[in-house]
């Protein structure tokens, strides 16, 4: 099993708040880290404006990657919400996965929301299918 993704409680709360604020649509964003520790939540607009899928707004995504680079951070994870389903990658999530980082999914289907993370392993990120591996999420604090 892959080592855990540790998220400080205030940042985990920010992720959930952003996801709740996106309802009825899915919400999304990025997590940045320094030396393996998550240090920032970069909330983004769901360019798909859909309750069933998400896509990062390209302009915001470019700005977020630029900020990560300028701050000396690393991309720690991509996150999005599922408004009506479990915190597990959908076939669309797997098909569209292109980053070699955990994908954090916040399920708003129950209260309190469930936060889980997954690595999506592919031979080539153009592949439609991949192997999904759960990464433990530990909320610190």
Residue 27: per-residue pLDDT: 98
Phi and psi of 114, rounded to 5°? -105, 130
Tell me, letter by letter, the H, E, C secondary structure of 68-111. HHHHCCEEEEEEEEECCCCCCCCHHHHHHCCCCCCEEEEECCCC
Residue with tokens 């360019």: 47
Residue 3: per-residue pLDDT: 86
pLDDT at 1 over 80: no
Quick check: helix, strand or coil at residue 56? strand
Residue 125: per-residue pLDDT: 78
Element (H, E) at 139: strand 137-140
Looking only at the bridges linking them, the beta strands covering 5-8 and 137-140 are parallel
More confident residue, 125 or 64: 64
Q: How many CB atoms lie within 10 A of CB 107?
A: 18
Share of the chain above pLDDT 90, in %: 90
Using only the alpha carbons of the chain, give its radius of gyration: 14
Sign of the alpha-carbon dihedral angle for 32, 108, 21, 140: negative
Q: pTM for the whole thing? A: 0.94
């Amino acid at each position: 099993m892959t080592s855990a993704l540790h998220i400080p409680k205030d940042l985990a709360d920010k992720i959930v708040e952003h996801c709740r604020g996106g309802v009825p649509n899915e919400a999304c964003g990025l997590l940045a880290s320094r030396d393996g520790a998550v240090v920032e939540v970069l909330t983004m607009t769901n360019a798909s404006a859909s309750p069933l899928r998400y896509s990062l707004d390209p302009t915001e995504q470019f700005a977020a990657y630029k900020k990560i680079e300028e701050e000396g951070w690393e991309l720690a994870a991509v996150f999005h919400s599922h408004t009506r389903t479990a915190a597990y990658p959908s076939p669309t999530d797997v098909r569209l996965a292109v980053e070699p980082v955990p994908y954090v999914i916040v399920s708003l289907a129950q209260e309190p929301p469930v936060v889980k993370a997954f690595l999506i392993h592919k031979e080539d990120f153009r592949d439609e299918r991949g192997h999904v591996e759960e990464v433990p999420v530990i909320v610190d604090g």
